[in-house]
């Protein structure tokens, strides 16, 4: 369990509390969580981060009314740079999107502009919003990244508390450039303890990481409580700390909850997150 469980920044969040839903546009529903909550613990300097990255969210329950009262339904893509001072708290995000449901807008562009403004104010820097027709959305295309799946390795586990000491290099110190994936990543929400499921893609170059040790490390998140973005940053930090690769990218595709999925990417390279997804995403 992370030590910032009872941080004062979390006191006013609605997560885990009974909430009244509104279907009239209400930007004040959005709530911010400082990224410093876990970055301070990892000794990361917000103004000089050791990685590039972004958090890509997809909204599957986005709707509003046109001026004639006819519903419009879209798939939404939201992109937040990892340099933003805040993340958007996920329950408040769901409530905010729900507030569009019975609100009339002049055009789709008006909706995009409002969402961009509101989300940028919440995260503290420029957010990007894209809307797609339900039947023509790249985010819904099932396509996999080229990676070796390590899930069938025979490992034994009897403790499911986060343990970065699992991470080890192979004994022969072979230098490689490889892409790995595990679909076994599970963590729990920092406050509600609800399970979060993800496929995590790890691409690196450098001394070869022992695949069994990596799988054990990822499984050790199973009873760990932390937000999606924080888990990915922790994986990146632990791999850098324990395995010291020359380059590293960690990208997690989480399953959706409440019509939203969150997909953080952290990399030593300045790259964009892929829209690849498995059927469960």
pLDDT digits (tens, 9 = 90+) for 250-275: 999 999 988 999 999 999 999 999 88
Residue 225 has pLDDT above 80, yes or no: yes
Q: Which residue in 118, 196, 238, 261 is the catalytic one?
A: 196
Helix (H, G, I), strand (E, B) or coil at 33: strand
Percentage with pLDDT > 70 across the chain:
93
Q: Which of 10-14, 208-212, 218-222 has the lowest mean pLDDT?
A: 10-14
Return the minimum-mean-pLDDT range out of 136-150, 198-212, 253-267.
136-150
Average pLDDT, integer, range 124-141: 90
Residue 274: its pLDDT value, please? Answer: 87
What is the rounded radius of gyration, in angstroms, for the C-alpha atoms of the chain?
19
pLDDT tens track for 21-60: 788 999 999 999 999 988 988 888 888 899 999 999 999 9
Residue 139's pLDDT band (cuts 50, 70, 90): confident
Query: What is the mean pLDDT of the segment spanning 7-20?
Result: 63
Backbone angles phi, psi at 270, to 5 degrees: -85, 85
Q: Is 245 helix (H, G, I), strand (E, B) or coil?
A: coil
Is residue 270 flagged as an active site residue? Answer: no
- Reported as a single tens digit per residue, the pLDDT across 77-89 is 999 999 999 999 9
Res 172: pLDDT: 87
Of the candidates 192, 193, 202, 189, the residue with the CA atom closest to the CA atom of residue 228? 189
Q: What is the pLDDT at residue 128?
A: 98
Residue 12, pLDDT > 70, answer no
- Active site annotation includes 210: no
Residue 141: what pLDDT? 82
What is the model's pTM? 0.88
- Give me the pLDDT at residue 159, please: 86
What is the structure's pLDDT at 111? 98
CA distance 79 to 83: 12
**pLDDT reading at 173 higher than 80:** no
Residue 5 has a pLDDT of 57
Q: Tell me the CB-side half-sphere exposure of residue 54, using CA atoms within 13 A.
A: 18
Residue tagged active-site, from 82, 123, 137, 189: 189
CA atoms within 13 A on the CB side of 154: 0
């Amino acid at each position: 369990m992370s030590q910032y469980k009872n941080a004062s920044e979390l006191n006013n969040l609605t997560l885990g509390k009974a909430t009244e839903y509104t279907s009239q546009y209400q930007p004040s529903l959005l709530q911010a969580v400082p990224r410093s909550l876990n970055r301070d613990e990892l000794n990361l300097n917000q103004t000089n981060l050791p990685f590039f990255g972004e958090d890509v969210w997809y909204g599957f329950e986005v709707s509003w009314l046109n001026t004639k009262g006819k519903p419009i339904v879209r798939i939404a893509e939201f992109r937040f740079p990892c340099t933003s001072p805040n993340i958007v708290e996920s329950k408040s995000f769901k409530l905010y999107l729900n507030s569009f449901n019975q609100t009339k807008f002049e055009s789709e562009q008006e909706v995009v502009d409002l969402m961009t403004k509101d989300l940028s104010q919440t995260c503290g820097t420029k957010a990007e919003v894209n809307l797609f027709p339900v039947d023509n959305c790249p985010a819904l295309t099932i396509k996999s990244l080229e990676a070796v799946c390590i899930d069938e390795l025979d490992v034994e586990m009897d403790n499911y508390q986060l343990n970065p000491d699992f991470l080890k290099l192979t004994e022969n110190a072979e230098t490689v450039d490889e892409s790995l994936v595990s679909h076994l990543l599970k963590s729990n929400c920092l406050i509600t303890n609800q399970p979060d499921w993800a496929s995590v893609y790890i691409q690196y170059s450098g001394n070869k990481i022992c695949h069994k040790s990596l799988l054990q490390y990822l499984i050790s998140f199973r009873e760990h409580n932390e937000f999606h973005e924080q888990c990915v940053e922790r994986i990146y930090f632990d791999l850098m700390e324990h395995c010291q690769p020359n380059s590293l990218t960690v990208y997690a595709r989480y399953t959706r909850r409440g019509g939203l999925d969150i997909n953080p990417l952290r990399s030593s390279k300045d790259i964009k997150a892929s829209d690849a997804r498995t059927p469960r995403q």
